[in-house]
Chain A
Amino acid sequence: DAGVIQSPRHEVTEMGQEVTLRCKPISGHNSLFWYRQTMMRGLELLIYFNNNVPIDDSGMPEDRFSAKMPNASFSTLKIQPSEPRDSAVYFCASSLYALEAFFGQGTRLTVV
């Protein structure tokens, strides 16, 4: 397996624009997680899915953020409208039965 695949690797966008981050988890994994990493706040869990169903979205900062998992092999994290304070590295991770989490390479988002 190629591991967790995220796209794009880097995204630069202007404030107010919509941003969509994509993730393909490892085949067979039943849990998917979206994290945000910044120097100030560390690694924050935004939302996680179990069997494609959102279980806990308490970490989603505000209504500008939304996440979907239409099937077991794909998830998106959308920010609309984006703001400079959303600049961070966003990681997607997947796991089987909440054990070892396999992280993607991350998407570095810069909102100018």
Chain B
Amino acid sequence: GENVEQHPSTLSVQEGDSAVIKCTYSDSASNYFPWYKQELGKGPQLIIDIRSNVGEKKDQRIAVTLNKTAKHFSLHITETQPEDSAVYFCAASRANAGKSTFGDGTTLTVKP
């Protein structure tokens, strides 16, 4: 089955700096890669996703890159703000084929 590894497990940055979280996956057939943000006391919520037919996707301060050959994808947050502090999860799946496999999560702290 699919195996997703996520690094780092914790990340602390200064407000205004960039944050990068990286994930690797094992199943070359995976073609859907979402990123979720989980705030305290809430369920994870999708912030951005990418499919395997593109290498990069951007939404304001958030971007995701995908390298299918190396089987890794990354989340980039620019100009971080204190409200970006949360736990971030990457995931991988085959669209239309069932479950997503989640990484272990990264706790991001943005210091004002």
CB atoms of A100 and B98 under 8 A apart = no
Q: Cα distance A36–B25 when bound, in Å?
A: 22
B-binding residues in A (CB < 8 A):
4, 31, 33, 42-43, 45, 48, 50, 55-56, 91, 93, 97-106
Please tell me if B5 contacts chain A, counting CB pairs below 8 Å: no
Task: State how many angstroms separate the Cβ of B85 from the closest Cβ of chain A.
Answer: 17
Name the A residues within 8 Å of B100 (CB-CB).
98, 101
Size of the B side of the interface (Cβ < 8 Å), in residues, is: 24
A-binding residues in B (CB < 8 A):
32, 34, 36, 41-46, 49, 89, 91, 93-102, 104-105
Q: Cα distance A10–B105 when bound, in Å?
A: 23
B42, B99, B105: most-surrounded residue (chain A CB, <10 A):
B99
CB atoms of A98 and B95 under 8 A apart = yes
